[in-house]
Homo-oligomer: A and B are copies of this chain.
Amino acid sequence: MKKNSPTNLDYAIMGLLREEALSGYQIRQIFENSEMGNYSSSPGSIYPAIRRLEGLGLLESVTQKEREGKAKKRFRLTGKGRSALLGWLGEKVNPEDISKRMDELLLKFAFMENLIDPPAQVRFLQQIEDLLPKKIEELESFYDQHSQMIPLTGRLAFLHGIEIFRTHFRWVQEAITTILKKITSKS
């Protein structure tokens, strides 16, 4: 009964490798310099993660020749790794994801290009679009019922939360429109 299921960091690494082979150091640089997720770039997290994924058969190392005879070890997804990544991207979006893991949903979406087709991208976004209004209504109704009992700074912090979810909603609508436009313009 081993767990052994990949962590978010593992999926983030696999996502980065979906198109090009990268070295451990390059992966660290990307986590350190880019905005995607808040994954640690420390060697103590990245290198063990790569090892884990190699051990699971999701990654493999390739030795590429550079000019000047320098050979660099890089990692790329195996077929199994690609399947695992696609499985992750295809998981049904649930209310818990909306409440606590929007960042993970955004990361998934960012990785979808060239891995799943635009209609499936839209279906992914529509799941989010469907779930967000309920979440927003819950928050608003909680606020209406409890705001007079919460001190001012708590109330303002709560309103911040509502605004963030409204921003998610505006974004997802906009994103759906953009992808749909792309689909119709191609056909």
Listed in ascending order, the chain A residues whose CB lies under 8 Å from chain B are 35-36, 38, 99-100, 106-107, 109-114, 121, 139, 151-154, 156-161, 163-164, 167-168, 170-171, 175, 178-179, 182
Contact = CB atoms under 8 A, between A and B. Distances in A.
Report the 3 A-B pairs with minimum CB-CB distance, sorted nearest first. A113-B151, A110-B157, A113-B153
B171 A152 contact: no
Given A100-B38, A113-B151, A164-B164, A156 B178 contact: yes
A175 to B, nearest CB: 5
Contacts of A161: 35, 106
Given A152-B182, A156-B179, A163-B171, 18 more contacts: A35-B139, A35-B158, A38-B100, A106-B157, A106-B160, A106-B161, A109-B157, A110-B158, A111-B154, A113-B151, A113-B153, A114-B151, A156-B175, A156-B178, A160-B171, A163-B167, A164-B164, A167-B167
Nearest to A139: B35
A35 B156 CA distance: 13
Given A35-B139, A139-B35, A164-B167, A113 B154 contact: yes
Given A139-B35, A167-B164, A179 B158 contact: no
Q: Tell me whether chain A's interface is mostly helix, strand or loop, or mixed.
A: helix
9 contacts: A35-B158, A35-B161, A106-B160, A107-B157, A110-B154, A111-B154, A156-B171, A159-B171, A160-B171
Given A139-B35, A164-B164, A167-B167, A121 B153 contact: yes
Contacts of A151: 113-114
